[in-house]
């Protein structure tokens, strides 16, 4: 009976993370050419921090499918890229955090996720983008330095910063309602954590400023 209750709680929380990720995706997206800036990976990664990398991988797949049948304008190929990017980010971060549940583990995991997602998305852009945009590969290569690299790097940095800021409050809330055990994590709130949170917020703000400067008004905010 206890095991069944635990499974029900886990499924409920995972469903909540899926809903939050989708709402975030549905309510606010920024389109830049064929690229999309959104923050669904924050909630996918939070699920991975709470329940492990397999949960993050499953939610990344669910979100890609939900996006495909609802708000996507890039179809099947876009769904593949969305899954690859989210999985690269969330699974990388949650694998590292799973084996080092400390402040440092969270930082290392999220930094690694930034580089993992950026690298994966560059490769995916080179392989898949020419298929559905009908653009020559040489054209995509020419876009790496001025657009693809900075865009994906800034997007992943924003997601990493927001994940770091939100993880402790959300995990504490889940512990308060007895969904998670009240002990077992070394990522405690202390002076170092507070400094980290402030730094994460500053990095997020700086990333937004850099992105807006880079895009120079050449973007579209999409809702719904």
Q: Report yes or no on 106 lying in a domain.
A: yes
Structure tokens at 57: 């991988």
- The more confident residue out of 197 and 114 is 114
What is residue 10's predicted lDDT score, i.e. its pLDDT? 85
Model confidence pLDDT, tens digit, residues 98-145: 999 888 999 999 999 999 999 999 999 999 999 888 889 999 999 999
Q: Can you give the residue range of the structural domain that contains 18?
A: 2-25+35-222
Q: How confident is residue 218, by pLDDT bands cut at 50, 70 and 90?
A: low
Against a cut of 0.85, is the pTM above it? yes
CB-based burial label for 33 (10 Å; 0-12, 13-18, 19+)? middle
Q: Tens digit of pLDDT for each residue in 73-107?
A: 778 898 999 999 999 999 999 999 999 988 899 99
Question: Which string of b and e fits 145-177 if b means at least 16 CB within 10 Å?
Answer: eebbbbbbbbbbbbbbbbbbbbbbebbeebeee
- In-domain check, residue 147: yes
Asked, for residue 30, whether it belongs to a domain, the answer is no
Q: What is the DSSP string of 37-85?
A: E--HHHHHHHHHHHH-HHHHHHHHHHHHHHHHHTT-SSHHHHHHHHHHH
Structural domains counted in the chain: 1
CB 45 within 8 A of CB 93: yes
Is the pLDDT score of 2 beyond 60? no
Tens digits of per-residue pLDDT, 109-122? 999 999 999 999 99
pLDDT, greater one: 3 or 94: 94
Contact 64, 22 (CB under 8 A): no
Q: Is residue 155 part of a domain?
A: yes
pLDDT band per the 50, 70, 90 thresholds, residue 219: low
Q: Where are the alpha helices (DSSP H) in the chain?
A: 2-27, 40-51, 53-69, 75-99, 103-127, 129-133, 137-142, 149-176, 191-215
Instruction: Give the CATH number of the domain where residue 133 resides.
Output: 1.10.1760.20
- What tens digit of pLDDT does each residue of 155-193 get? 999 999 999 999 988 888 887 877 776 655 556 667 777
**Confidence check: pLDDT of 72 > 80:** no
């Amino acid at each position: 009976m206890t095991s069944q209750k635990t499974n029900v709680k886990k499924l409920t929380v995972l469903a909540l993370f899926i809903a939050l990720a989708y709402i975030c995706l549905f309510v606010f997206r920024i389109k830049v050419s064929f690229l999309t800036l959104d923050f669904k990976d924050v909630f996918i990664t939070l699920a991975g921090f709470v329940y492990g990398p397999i949960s993050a991988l499953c939610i990344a797949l669910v979100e890609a499918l939900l996006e495909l049948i609802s708000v996507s304008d890039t179809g099947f190929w876009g769904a593949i890229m969305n899954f690859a990017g989210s999985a690269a980010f969330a699974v990388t971060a949650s694998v590292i955090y799973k084996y080092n549940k400390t402040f440092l583990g969270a930082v290392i995991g999220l930094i690694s996720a930034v580089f993992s997602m950026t690298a994966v998305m560059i490769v995916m852009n080179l392989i898949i983008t020419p298929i559905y945009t009908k653009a020559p590969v040489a054209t995509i290569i020419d876009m790496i330095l001025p657009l693809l690299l900075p865009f994906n790097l800034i997007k992943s940095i924003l997601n990493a910063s927001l994940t770091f800021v939100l993880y402790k409050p959300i995990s504490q809330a889940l512990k308060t309602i007895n969904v998670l055990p009240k002990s077992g994590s070394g990522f405690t709130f202390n002076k170092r954590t507070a400094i980290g949170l402030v730094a994460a917020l500053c990095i997020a703000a700086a990333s937004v400023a850099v992105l807006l400067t880079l895009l120079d008004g050449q973007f579209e905010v999409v809702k719904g």
